[in-house]
Amino acid sequence: MSATLLDGNAVALAIRSEVRPAVDRLTARAGRPPGLALVLVGDDPASHLYVGSKLKSAGESGLFADVHRLPANASLDELLTLVDRLNQSPIHDGILVQSPLPAAMGPDAERRVFDAIAPDKDVDGFHPLNVGKLVQERATLVACTPSGVIELLDRSHIQIAGKRAVVIGRSDIVGKPMALLLLHRHATVTVCHSRTPDLPAVCREADILVAALGKPAFVTREFVKPGATVIDVGTTRVDDAQTIARLFAPGTKRRIAFEKRGALVLGDVHPEVEEVAGALTPVPGGVGPLTIALLLKNTLRAAEARLG
């Protein structure tokens, strides 16, 4: 058996094609487009890439988006001042501060910055008020990646209600909101983490298994009930030739891509799982594209709520 691959690019395109006309309608009504502020601190190349693609996607969807840059040596106070200014801005409905922040800002910098974003502009859904509303199932702004997974399941006609779901990972950004969204859709949910005993046995109970741990190819076939839906959230850049050689045979598409580029982005799910799962998200092209699509959708939602 070979799993059906769930096409995140196609679902993201469908969501974006729904967002565009709604953005145009709101722009006509409000006299300005929904606005998204992207805050970028420092020189991390991956963060620059992510912010660049968010900026481009926002523009393609008819949103106004701009980037607010601070140098790598900026202080936390400077960043909080910028966030405060954006909170007051009449043209920005959403604020996204790209993580990670420079380590020099201190261990609790991200939390302090996310807490400082006005909850009605919190398009990442990380503010404690929005997290609390998520727990009570009355949130408008929910973390983009787990919301994207739900969209992918729905649009792929995978039933959630009544199913056993297992989420590996309990981060505030992915694991916890993912578990809550699945629970609200009436799945029976188990959340696993680094101290879960006999993880493969727990995972084998899942009809829907979400891997969000950031450990390349960690989830092997022994974790997967035959026919289960496996959602691979992990994205880790790997440049170790031995790891790639272990996972991908010579002449395969991914091995050739590695030989060309010297690195690959790998998911948390081992390639062998494709032989066991019923449905599977590929990396790349699975969950990744949905995160940006949901950011656009959240910005539209925030603007609709603010503009009436």
Which residues contact ligand NAP (rule: CB under 6 A)? Answer: 145, 168-171, 173-175, 192-196, 199, 212-215, 233-236, 287-288, 291
SS (H, E, C) the chain: CCCEECCHHHHHHHHHHHHHHHHHHHHHHHCCCCEEEEEEECCCHHHHHHHHHHHHHHHHCCCEEEEEEECCCCCHHHHHHHHHHHHHCCCCCEEEECCCCCHHHCCCHHHHHHHHCCHHHCCCCCCHHHHHHHHCCCCCCCCHHHHHHHHHHHHCCCCCCCCEEEEECCCCCCHHHHHHHHHHCCCEEEEECCCCCCHHHHHCCCCEEEECCCCCCCECHHHCCCCCEEEECCCEEECCHHHHHHHCCCCCHHHHHHHHHCCEEECCECHHHHHCCCEECCCCCCCHHHHHHHHHHHHHHHHHHHHC
- State the minimum distance, in angstroms, from the CB of residue 260 to ligand NAP: 22
Q: Which of these is catalytic: 124, 207, 232, 268?
A: 124
Q: Which of these is catalytic: 7, 93, 98, 176?
A: 98
Residue closer to ligand NAP (CB basis): 82 or 123: 123
Q: Does the annotation mark 122 as catalytic?
A: no
Residue closer to ligand NAP (CB basis): 33 or 146: 146
Q: Does the annotation mark 98 as catalytic?
A: yes
- State the minimum distance, in angstroms, from the CB of residue 65 to ligand NAP: 18
Residue closer to ligand NAP (CB basis): 107 or 250: 107
- State the minimum distance, in angstroms, from the CB of residue 177 to ligand NAP: 10
- State the minimum distance, in angstroms, from the CB of residue 124 to ligand NAP: 10
Q: Does the annotation mark 54 as catalytic?
A: yes
Q: Which of these is catalytic: 7, 54, 207, 225?
A: 54
Residue closer to ligand NAP (CB basis): 168 or 279: 168
- Active centre residues (catalytic): 54, 98, 124
